[in-house]
Amino acid sequence: METTPEIALALLAQMKRIRMVEEAIADRYPEGRMRCPTHLSIGQEAPAAVLGSLLRMDDLVVSSHRAHAHYLAKGGSLRALIAELYGKETGCSRGRGGSMHLVDIDAGFMGSTAIVANSIPVGAGLGLALRMRHSENIACIFLGDGAVEEGVFYETANFAVLRRLPVVFICENNGYSVYSPLSVRQPENRELSSLAAAIGLRSGCVDSVDVLALHAQVAERMRAAREECLPAFIEIKTFRWREHCGPNHDDDLGYRDARLVDYWHAHDPLRLLQERLLDERCITSVGLATMERGIRDEIEDAFRFAEDSPFPDPDTLAEGVYRADDSVGIPWVGN
């Protein structure tokens, strides 16, 4: 798929939106009204925006703890996201899940879960059901580099290859599992994509600095996965700007090499894309300001919605532990 100016602008708008939403969350987090652990995607907007533009509305997505960007890019409701962070009844999970458990079924965002690698097999199960239903849709599984160290990743990848499931693994490699660098977790010079390739996934590694190049490469791999029904693994090199969990910067702790931090700040994919589209006159500075104003309004609206929404009724605490519907006609018998 050619990355047209329209697509490029849409990518810019989505990345900007994700960045501005996350920054607004970070700015307001100290108010203490978003009372849940929150993993921001600032710096990692590109993979989400690219996948969001390539997935169809009825394709399915699962994700992990750092899922705001994936949820938004797939079409999840911003209002319901912010309300979820506020623990409100109008949140996407009605305040039961918090930042780490997002869902928007209508948008095909089937759920994000908090335990590392835990949603990976769920995504493959969606793929199995899609295959059994002869659907042309695919299931996209977002995971981080840490998840590739979990056994369930290999178990799932193996089954996906075995059964040729319509599944794409998108591995955002930001180099760190909380504070632990890849160097303490994997042997030197190992590519995560080579692990995935060894198990039979169509695998490759793509950099996210050049968003348009990322889009073109992921598009080609997605096309192959969709048309040839071969599960794919795409490792995307990216960088988290803020702390693992929470609103702050934490590079004062010195756990990341200053040169690495400087490199990514100098190569912010969002800023580089914006400059390029301005240079190529795909957008004017006036157009950019309009775009930003629109996003700001949407964010303001979402926060107002969240703040104005009611909390869940405490009496409903134990509701919904079980589902009650019964859709089969087999008779019940008593004692």
Partner 1 sequence: MGRELNFCEAVNEALATAMTVDPDVICFGLGVGDPKNIFGTTLGLKERFGPDRVFDMPTSENAMTGIAVGASLLGLRPVMVHQRTDFFLLALDQLVNNAAKWHYMFGGGRAAGITIRLITGQGWGQGPTHSQNLHAWFAHIPGLKVVMPTNPYDAKGLLLASIFDPNPVVFIEHRWLHGSRAQVPDSPYRIPFGQAKELLAGQDLTIVATSYLTLEAWHAARFLRDQGISVSVIDLRSIKPLDRETIFRSVQTTGRLLVLDSAHLTGSVAGEIIALVASNLFAGLKQAPERMTFPDAPSPASPALTRNYYPRAPDIAAKVGEMLGRDVNPGALAAQCKFPHDVPGDWFNGPF
**Rounded least distance, CB 74 to partner 1, Å:** 15
**Rounded least distance, CB 203 to partner 1, Å:** 18
DSSP string, 67-86: -HHHHHHHT--HHHHHHHHT
Query: Does 321 engage in binding with partner 1 (CB under 8 A)?
Result: yes
In angstroms, how far apart are the furthest CA atoms of the chain?
78
150-173 b/e with 16+ CB inside 10 Å = b? bebbbebbebbbeeebbbbbbbbb
112-123 b/e with 16+ CB inside 10 Å = b? bbbebbbbbbbb
Interacting residue with partner 1 among 32, 132, 227, 258 (CB under 8 A):
132
Let me know if 330 is exposed, middle or buried by CB neighbors in 10 A (0-12, 13-18, 19+): exposed
Calculate ∠ Cα 187-193-196, nearest 5°: 100
Closest to partner 1 by CB, 124 vs 232, is: 124
Region of 30-38, 262-270, 272-280, 317-325 interacting with partner 1 (CB under 8 A): 317-325
Closest to partner 1 by CB, 121 vs 175, is: 121
Query: Does 91 engage in binding with partner 1 (CB under 8 A)?
Result: yes
Give the per-residue contact string, 287-316, with partner 1 (x = CB under 8 A; - = no).
------------------------------
Interacting residue with partner 1 among 41, 156, 193, 238 (CB under 8 A):
156
Paired with 206 in beta bridges are 236
**Rounded least distance, CB 116 to partner 1, Å:** 10
Interacting residue with partner 1 among 16, 74, 94, 215 (CB under 8 A):
94
Query: Does 30 engage in binding with partner 1 (CB under 8 A)?
Result: no
**How many Å apart are CA 258 and CA 146, to the nearest integer?**
22
Query: Does 333 engage in binding with partner 1 (CB under 8 A)?
Result: yes
Query: Does 75 engage in binding with partner 1 (CB under 8 A)?
Result: no
Calculate ∠ Cα 66-155-104, nearest 5°: 35
**Rounded least distance, CB 305 to partner 1, Å:** 16
Query: Does 62 engage in binding with partner 1 (CB under 8 A)?
Result: yes
Closest residue by Cα to residue 7 from 277, 284, 294: 277
Interface ranges with partner 1 (CB under 8 A): 62, 91-97, 101, 103, 105, 110-111, 113-115, 118-130, 132-133, 139, 151-152, 155-156, 158-159, 162, 319-335
